[in-house]
Structure 1
């Protein structure tokens, strides 16, 4: 019996998965032919097409597809009920198309050469080195907090609009690209998400839409976090998929900005991750380091904590679990914990580039 096109596409999902895993085992192929080959061309085209639009085209597409899917199921509910296998075939067909499109448009970057290799960094897990680095970070963060606020107990309020912060982040990329050409960012396409409230309830600060190549930032984020998240999402745009790597890129771009507010945000961002790792190693050391922080810095950290707490809901752990599984399925063995792996990159980088 001759199969129709829908069945052929649906059946293609399994060989697609096997092919992706096989290609993903050849990191050099992905790096040379995809991540630094065809992907930059794809990315620039979509940034050029959608970058000038003041709102998120990808969000509109997601919303439209969601409405169409719900409408289709509702209108065809009786036929679906009587032809369950055909409906399942159609679902698998859609997944096959999405799987192919996702990997061609961006997803193969999950299998590229690690950033630490490109930067020639030697990562270590030495706890004493971490503590020493964290102390230096505290010193830098305290100094900038006092320089800006002129009072160690005063919270730092970043005075820029979100549009200005995006522009400054783009300028930060222009500066850092002089040292690292692979961070050159042309045809900007960074904007706040239309679904910022939804993202916040899900516990996300932003995301890259792989189908429109738009860097989406949660528009509800406090300014204390907005610049590094912008840098992080643009890092995804440039083809870096691992969360620890884009955390590092977001820090690197922000800390190398000429603006003191941005530098402060970057140092505090890195400090938060480092303190978390210190606490896991020794709570007494963590408590001692915490006492060294200026009151104003603590207030900024509390600002972020209060922000996320105000949106806490029973579904957030579910969304986090789904994202954790997604990351693990895409070559990030640590899943959502890979965000914290930025610490070893920070320590290794500043070993050769002192604070």
Structure 2
């Protein structure tokens, strides 16, 4: 690439940043013309191209690019030390190209209307509402644990393979789209990440590759949690960027599935968020509610805790801090805390549903 071309691309980076912020200041425009317009065609195309491949092409591409970058630095180290400003320009060129591709292919979804606008619900709730909802979630979780195991003391073990869980995730979305057509889509692309072990060390259950539109799941996650993780990542694939929103979508899709294992996974996941929230807001009632949870459910929580503790490392907080900054830069002011926003969404969605039933 000629230096003049590189200069133009490098100069385009700050212009792109300003342009994205300007367009992003109008969420309705992004919602109408990107998230429900251009993005639908881009994401469908990418899923057609990469979805049929049984392994993660995005992970392969990342690996290849990393190797090429290391090879370039190694082979050109003398020139880099002699002309560091030219190398710096090369870095800015790469950042400019990545920034453009990221926002074109997926990233503008960070600036769309929030899911509260989409579903007409609020996020605020009282402690009493949290207590009532947590009791409801405990009842549902206990019910499906008992239905699956036949007793109250055995943990749930999902008998499906990962590929079967992915197929059932697609079925769950097809079923959910009958009630909410906006959440239906074609050309599925849900896969286990090649880098599941590194993802675990970083503390992540999965991610969406914005350049290939592959929904990547941490394949070594305990199986009872995989249905909601899979449904969560497909939520990103549909163009929802906020982590609280995709946690909520994952809960709704899995809980309204026809499969008892998916329902259990959904309510168990929701229960974890509710209990964490309640512990900090009313420890006394938290303890009362914990005492009503089936031992089998608690065993699954212990399984999940042991899994994450096994991979604890000094670098995890750094990875989380970087991701927290990334989220804040991309229009998620709460950063990584946005994961917990699912509690308010679940509470207010249930209030909305109960209100609809009372008006019938």
TM-score (norm 2): 0.97
Looking at structure 2, the residues matched to 13 and 19 of structure 1 have their Cα atoms a distance apart, in angstroms, of 10
Question: 1:99 maps to which residue?
Answer: 99
Question: 2:252 maps to which residue?
Answer: 252
User: Is 1:324 the equivalent of 2:319?
Assistant: no
Task: Spell out, residue by residue over 1:71-94, the C-alpha distance to the aligned partner (whole angstroms, 9 max, x if none).
Answer: 100111111011111111110110
Looking at structure 2, the residues matched to 144 and 19 of structure 1 have their Cα atoms a distance apart, in angstroms, of 49
Deviation at 1:3, TM superposition (A): 6.9
Alignment of 1:3-22 (within 5 A): 4-22=4-22
Task: Quote the RMSD (CA, aligned, Å).
Answer: 1.2
1:170–1:185 CA contact under 8 A, matched in 2: no
Looking at structure 2, the residues matched to 123 and 202 of structure 1 have their Cα atoms a distance apart, in angstroms, of 29
User: Is 1:190 the equivalent of 2:190?
Assistant: yes
Task: Spell out, residue by residue over 1:220-276, the C-alpha distance to the aligned partner (whole angstroms, 9 max, x if none).
Answer: 011111011110111111111110000011111101110111101101111110111
SS of residue in 1 equivalent to 2:123: coil
Task: Spell out, residue by residue over 1:51-85, the C-alpha distance to the aligned partner (whole angstroms, 9 max, x if none).
Answer: 10000000000000000000100111111011111
Question: 1:120 maps to which residue?
Answer: 120
Deviation at 1:7, TM superposition (A): 1.0
Looking at structure 1, the residues matched to 13 and 275 of structure 2 have their Cα atoms a distance apart, in angstroms, of 43
Task: Spell out, residue by residue over 1:159-182, the C-alpha distance to the aligned partner (whole angstroms, 9 max, x if none).
Answer: 111111111110000011011111
Alignment of 1:143-222 (within 5 A): 143-222=143-222
Alignment of 1:10-89 (within 5 A): 10-89=10-89
SS of residue in 2 equivalent to 1:208: strand
Question: 1:268 maps to which residue?
Answer: 268
Looking at structure 2, the residues matched to 80 and 66 of structure 1 have their Cα atoms a distance apart, in angstroms, of 18
Question: 2:343 maps to which residue?
Answer: 343
Task: Spell out, residue by residue over 1:164-210, the C-alpha distance to the aligned partner (whole angstroms, 9 max, x if none).
Answer: 11111100000110111110021000000011111111111000000
Gaps of 5+ in 1: none
TM-score (norm 1): 0.98
2:248–2:345 CA contact under 8 A, matched in 1: yes
Question: 1:286 maps to which residue?
Answer: 286
1:205–1:229 CA contact under 8 A, matched in 2: yes
Gaps of 5+ in 2: none
Looking at structure 2, the residues matched to 53 and 123 of structure 1 have their Cα atoms a distance apart, in angstroms, of 39
Looking at structure 2, the residues matched to 174 and 344 of structure 1 have their Cα atoms a distance apart, in angstroms, of 25
Looking at structure 1, the residues matched to 109 and 10 of structure 2 have their Cα atoms a distance apart, in angstroms, of 24
Looking at structure 2, the residues matched to 222 and 122 of structure 1 have their Cα atoms a distance apart, in angstroms, of 32
2:125–2:348 CA contact under 8 A, matched in 1: no
Looking at structure 2, the residues matched to 26 and 123 of structure 1 have their Cα atoms a distance apart, in angstroms, of 21
- Figure out how many residues of one structure are paired with residues of the other and give that number: 354
Task: Spell out, residue by residue over 1:281-308, the C-alpha distance to the aligned partner (whole angstroms, 9 max, x if none).
Answer: 0222211111110100000011111111
